[in-house]
Amino acid sequence: MRFDKYPKNWRVKGGQPLTEMDKKILFFQNKGHLVPSPDLIKTPEQIEGIRKSGVINTGVLDLVASEIKEGMSTAAIDKLVYDYTMDHHAIPACLGYEGFPKSCCTSINEVVCHGIPNEKEILKPGDIINVDCTTILDGYYADASRMFIIGETTPEKKKLVDVAWECLKIGEETCKPYCFVGDLGNAIAKHAHKNGFSVVRDLCGHGVGNEFHEEPEVEHYGKKGTGMLLVPGMVFTIEPMINMGDWEVFVDSEDNWTVITDDELPSAQWEHTFLMTETGVEILTH
């Protein structure tokens, strides 16, 4: 259902009057803005399901945080993710998704995202690694990733990891009811650029909850007042990918998954699943 021009005495399907949120959405649409379809606004039951999935997803990443270390293979990280998720009666969403062969993504140094865990990839001192997990519980999805530093790394890599985290927090703080995706993208990009880094443009955050990937596309750069309107009840990820060098990336032709910086300089990313509320966003993953 799309909201058309709002006439006097408008009634929605079923004879119910428009809610205040319906009226606000209609106002923005009539101004020419992109607005969410009703199916993107989650019901209380759906939100509770996503929240429960988020608890397990957080537990997975807490386990990884407690175990990750120098000398560990990325395959061992993947086994931790698989075992914990299955033991909690959930499903790792990555496993088998469009042919992806593992339960999580492990992306080291110049790998931006979608790195495939394997036995031969061993963590070394100075590495920075992103571990990205998505959990399905009772049909509901929650998605998050964290950065980990193995031992001591360079000041430049440490700054990159810190600024990527700050970009996520700035995106979170910018998200207010009836803001636009472009508002948070603009704020994130400004902070990254101020610190001498770039923002990947070929990948983005996304709606999530009933499916792995839903609308809207949450780009981490852009202009204020552009992109989809964000309203209470929407669930989405913010996951800025911040590069030390330029923003361009390529996909490894050998596995058709691994995304690498063009200049092979390091990249960092943090991700949460957020629920938009009447006052701001609630983090459903940590």
Each residue's pLDDT tens digit, 257-266: 999 999 999 9
- β-strand pairing of 111-113 with 198-199: unpaired
| Better-predicted residue by pLDDT, 6 or 92 | 92
- What local confidence, expressed as pLDDT, does residue 286 receive? 80
Domains of the chain by start residue, with CATH: 38-283 (3.90.230.10)
DSSP three-state, residue 180:
strand
* pLDDT tens-place string over residues 100-131: 999 999 999 999 999 999 999 999 999 999 99
Q: List, in order, residues 6 or more apart from 32 with CB less than 8 Å away.
A: none
Question: CA 209, CA 232: separation in Å to the nearest integer?
Answer: 14
Question: CA 64, CA 81: separation in Å to the nearest integer?
Answer: 8
Q: List, in order, residues 6 or more apart from 102 with CB less than 8 Å away.
A: 78, 94, 95, 116, 117
Question: CA 205, CA 271: separation in Å to the nearest integer?
Answer: 8
